[in-house]
Structure 1
Amino acid sequence: MNWGLLLQLVLNGLIVGMLYGVVAMCFVLIYKSTQVVNFAQGEFLLIGAWVCWAFLVHMQLPFFIGFLLTLVFMMAFGVLLQVIVLRPLIGEPIISVIMVTIGLSIFFQALMKWIFGVSAESYPRVFDTEVITIGGLNIEFAYIMSLVISVVIMVAFYWFFKHSRMGLAMRATAFDQQVAQSLGISVKRVFAMSWAISAVVSATAGVVIGMVNGVSDALSVIGIKVFPAVILGGLDSIVGGVVGGLIIGVLENVAEFIDGQYLHVGNLYAIAPFYVLILILCIKPYGLFGTKDIERI
């Protein structure tokens, strides 16, 4: 057995899993505050990555300025999307809102193809060092930065929900919207803020992945790939989203190792997370950290 290769893949899986965890937190954030599963989450990564690429390539802006402008754009995008498209659906059946997010996913994919084309594009070189060696393992420097950014985002999420007024308002709204509104909390404002934060954080993940793999339609697939991580951790658990992301990230890479060394199936890397999804739904439908919903009949 090639232990060096396995260790390299596990390490890469942990780093990518942190990014999956960040995207999973965005799923959980929207679900906890609005009870909606956003199937356009992957398109938030795609839009953020393309917008940042346009700032860097077409406008020739320095990376950090282009990145900050991208975050501002995505915050405005998230708010406008919630206000214009989703707010009129408040009070409608959940399935109707979910179908709208699926429609938005298809629309945004087509829009990005129309604006930027179908070819993959590379980011300009951002860091002087592209690959660093740690303990004999080669790691993309952008992945190291993504690890740092992921940790910062997770700490920020923790502080935001524990200590900020808006974070407490979101927790109250997630618990009971009517009670939160009776306490003077603007539920509409909470909804808009949750979509804005989700768009900003997803765009951050999209830019990081784009720096390593380039920008293409494949970025939007990450939203679907992260869904097993969300179910595994628990649809209403921030911590569960992070843990689920780490597990799925490592699982993908271990599956790639087993497939390449022994099974030679060819696509085990892509389908392994969904086998786990089916297994978790059969054994533990609420996920590892999800809240069990007990109803009286």
Structure 2
Amino acid sequence: MDTLLNLTVSGLVVGCVYALVAMGFASIYRATGVLNFAQGDLMLLVAYTAYSVASTAQGSFAMVLFASLTTGVVVGVMLEYLFIRPMAAEPLFSKVMVTIALAIMIRAAVVLFYGAEPLAVPPMLGTAILRVGTVALYPAQLAVLLMLAASVIATSLMFNRSRLGVEMRAAACDEGAALLAGISVRRVYAIAWALAGAYAALAGLACALLFNLDPTVSSLSLRAFPAAILGGLDSVLGGALGGLVIGILESYAGGYLGRGMKDVVGFVLIILVLMIKPYGLFGTRRIERV
């Protein structure tokens, strides 16, 4: 039982990173229909930004959090304004290819500036172990859990209780009708990219808290993609749940079936979900007349 509990907590912590990345995927796809394959590399950029700030700010978590969120949001908006908005009239495939190119550019810039060797982030929250019954948690792990919880609560309130959330849902449902209702769809798109940047910022900060940093950290986005599929590509909160589920399943697979199965279980789940419920658990089923 102790092993099960510890594997569950470990899976939840890693699942928080997957959840934040999946929420970024979903926020852009919900608003624009574009799969942003630069999400993981934006997370990588913010993780290294957190490392730089933590190294110069004597490990001040508040300053690192502020710098991470600012970097993620600003870079997200800049990417939309400089690269995606000029492609508005282009086919969807072209926009997706632009995001792949952006991913390569961001990763190359990070390697050029920081190098490819692993970097240890200075501790920001201490190393004292917190024990809840038989479960042991580091302060960094608890902080990651709290960051996801705060993100889910804020996202839920924004989409369900604010005018901005109504506008985003309207633009996602019917762009033409939203324009006729006086909603600025361009502004909605920019906000969607800003949100994706914020989620990438929190995911990058989580990586900085949990792992040593190297350019392969961006590959976590590929393991978070099954979470977005599971929750539904157009469901931001569904992506959060999907990330936690994938994280727990990976932890169980690694603990009970061997490390090799840990990397496979998410993609096996993708195949099953696409066969049974292709729109995900909370995705919107689209009906098209032909």
TM-score bin (small chain): over 0.9
1:278 aligns with 2:276: no
Q: Residues 52-67 of structure 1 correspond to what in structure 2 (within 5 A)?
A: 52-58=50-56, 60=58, 62-67=60-65
Counterparts of residues 237-276 of structure 1 (less than 5 Å): 237-260=235-258, 266-276=259-269
Quote how far apart the aligned CAs of 1:188 are.
1.1
The question of whether the paired residues in 2 share the 8 Å contact of 1:252 and 1:273 is answered with yes
Q: Which amino acid aligns with 1:48?
A: V
Distance in 2 separating the partners of 1:69 and 1:25: 20
Q: Structure 1 length normalisation: TM-score?
A: 0.93
- Return the offset for 1:58: 4.3
Structure 2 residues not aligned, in runs of 5+: none
Shift of 1:61: 6.9
Distance (whole Å) between structure 1 residues aligned to residue 15 and residue 107 of structure 2: 24
Structure 1: distance between partners of 2:43 and 2:126 = 25
Match of 1:113?
Answer: 111
**Amino acid of the structure 2 residue aligned with 1:24:** A
**RMSD of aligned Cα (Å):** 1.6
Unaligned runs of 5+ in 1: 261-265
Conservation of the 8 A alpha-carbon contact between 1:122 and 1:211:
no
Correspondence for 2:147: 149
Which digits, 9 at most, give the CA deviation of each residue in 1:84-115, with x for residues without a partner? 10001112111111111111111111111001
The amino acid of 1:242's aligned partner reads A
Q: What is the correspondence of 1:85-100 to structure 2 with a 5 Å cutoff?
A: 85-100=83-98
Shift of 1:59: 5.9
| Equivalence for 1:263 | none
Aligned-pair CA distance for 1:45: 1.1
Q: 1:45 aligns with which of 21, 43, 53?
A: 43
Please give the alpha-carbon distance, in whole angstroms, between the structure 2 residues aligned to 1:209 and 1:39. 18
Contact preservation (8 Å) 1:23, 1:205: yes
Change (3 A) 1:295 1:107: same
Look up the equivalent residue of 2:67 and give its one-letter code. Answer: L
1:77 aligns with 2:75: yes
The TM-score with structure 2 as length reference comes to: 0.95
1:184 to 182, 185, 195: 182
Moved more, 52-61 or 212-221: 52-61
2:121 is matched with: 123
Deviation by residue 1:5-46 (Cα, 9 ceiling, x = unmatched): 232111211232233222211111101111111111111211
Match of 1:26 among 24, 27, 42: 24
Say whether the 8 Å CA contact 2:22–2:227 is kept in structure 1.
yes
Q: Assess, with a 3 A threshold, how the Cα gap between structure 1 residues 145 and 63 changes in structure 2: closer, same or farther.
A: closer
Residue 256 of structure 2 is aligned to residue 295 of structure 1: no
What is the rounded CA distance, in whole Å, between the counterparts of 1:102 and 1:236 in structure 2? 20
SS at match of 2:263: helix
CA distance in 2, matches of 1:125, 1:97: 39
Tell me the percent identity: 37
User: The residue matched to 2:120 in structure 1 has which SS?
Assistant: coil
CA contact (8 A) 2:74 2:197 kept: no
